[in-house]
């Protein structure tokens, strides 16, 4: 098996692939905890807008020559993180404007970031080739991620981000849950709805930055949607939903990485397709349970 060979076959291979496994497991837990909030507030499209802002961040970093085009350089990561956070705050600010709904605000940020990102990446890549240099990464790695691009430094950074976000989620858990389940009631009770939405968007932005190295910007938001959707198909109780979401996230990433290693697929598509299969399974189980309950009620 390639998985055993990659992870335990030799120290050289283990040093390449274990960082991706660690980052994947950390990301799965973080995204799975955020996922029920994203699904309940119907913020999937917002995640797309924030994730695609990473294109602008990568392009901006390349234009400034940070990391000489290396996607894993800390300067590039910092610029991408700041760009995603700025996009999240921008979406929140635009959504609060009268006469501009949330979908329009997301669309404006998404297409603007994508267009600017592609233009800057193309310009910077051509300038590097003119100097006889080769760009350290391509658009494909930004879109779909790369196992080989993940290093132990990324794993440490992911651990710091995950720990920080868990502290913030626990500290603001009552406000976030109240707003997620009943935004009107939360506003009437004095919860600062705008600030709460901005907080969640910033947390999503940071989660996407960590996830994009493994899954890419196109598929990063899938990890913020599918585990929560799977959990909500299985239960309607608060804490079981979060527990099932975490289990689905962990299982999806672990199985997806195994599939990626064995079939030589890119990790992002493999992980997301695994999450889709888990969601489909949850849907089937939900239908079977509903039919059994209906039969029991009529018996």
Could you read off the pLDDT of 196-224 as tens digits, one per residue?
888 888 888 888 888 877 777 767 788 88
Predicted pLDDT of residue 56:
83
pLDDT at 89: 83
Domain boundaries, the chain: 2-298
pLDDT at residue 7, as a whole number: 85
Q: Which two tokens stand for residue 84?
A: 């995603």
Quote the CA–CA distance of 49 and 273 in Å, as a whole number.
Answer: 21
Indicate the CATH number of 2-298 among 1.10.3470.10, 1.10.357.10, 1.10.10.10, 3.30.930.10: 1.10.3470.10
Distance (Å, rounded) from C-alpha 278 to C-alpha 253? Answer: 11
Q: What is the pLDDT of residue 71?
A: 47
Question: Quick check: 80 and 207 in contact, CB under 8 A?
Answer: no
pTM: 0.83
Distance CA 96, CA 149 (A): 38
Which segments of the chain have a pLDDT < 50? 68-71
pLDDT of residue 153: 81
């Amino acid at each position: 098996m390639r998985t055993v060979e990659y992870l335990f076959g030799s120290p050289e291979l283990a040093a390449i692939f274990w960082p991706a496994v660690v980052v994947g497991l950390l990301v799965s837990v973080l995204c799975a905890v955020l996922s029920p909030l994203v699904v309940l507030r119907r913020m999937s499209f917002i995640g797309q807008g924030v994730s695609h802002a990473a294109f602008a961040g990568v392009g901006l970093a390349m234009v400034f020559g940070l990391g000489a085009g290396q996607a894993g350089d800390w300067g590039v990561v910092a610029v991408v993180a700041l760009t995603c956070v700025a996009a999240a705050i921008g979406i929140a600010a635009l959504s609060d404007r009268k006469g501009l709904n949330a979908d329009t605000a997301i669309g404006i940020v998404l297409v603007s970031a994508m267009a600017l990102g592609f233009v800057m990446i193309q310009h910077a890549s051509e300038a590097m080739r003119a100097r006889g240099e080769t760009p350290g990464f391509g658009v494909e790695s930004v879109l779909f991620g790369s196992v080989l691009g993940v290093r132990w430094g990324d794993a440490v950074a992911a651990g710091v981000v995950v720990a920080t976000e868990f502290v913030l989620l626990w500290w603001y858990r009552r406000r976030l849950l109240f707003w997620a389940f009943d935004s009107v009631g939360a506003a009437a009770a004095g919860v600062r709805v705008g600030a709460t939405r901005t907080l969640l968007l910033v947390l999503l932005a940071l989660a996407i930055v960590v996830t994009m190295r493994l899954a890419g910007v196109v598929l990063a938001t899938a990890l913020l949607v599918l585990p929560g959707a799977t959990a909500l198909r299985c239960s309607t109780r608060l804490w079981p939903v979060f527990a099932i979401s975490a289990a689905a996230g962990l299982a999806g990433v672990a199985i997806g990485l195994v599939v990626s290693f064995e079939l030589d697929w890119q990790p992002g598509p493999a992980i997301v397709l695994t999450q889709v299969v888990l969601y489909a399974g949850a849907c089937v189980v939900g239908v079977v349970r509903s039919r059994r309950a209906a039969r029991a009620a009529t018996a």
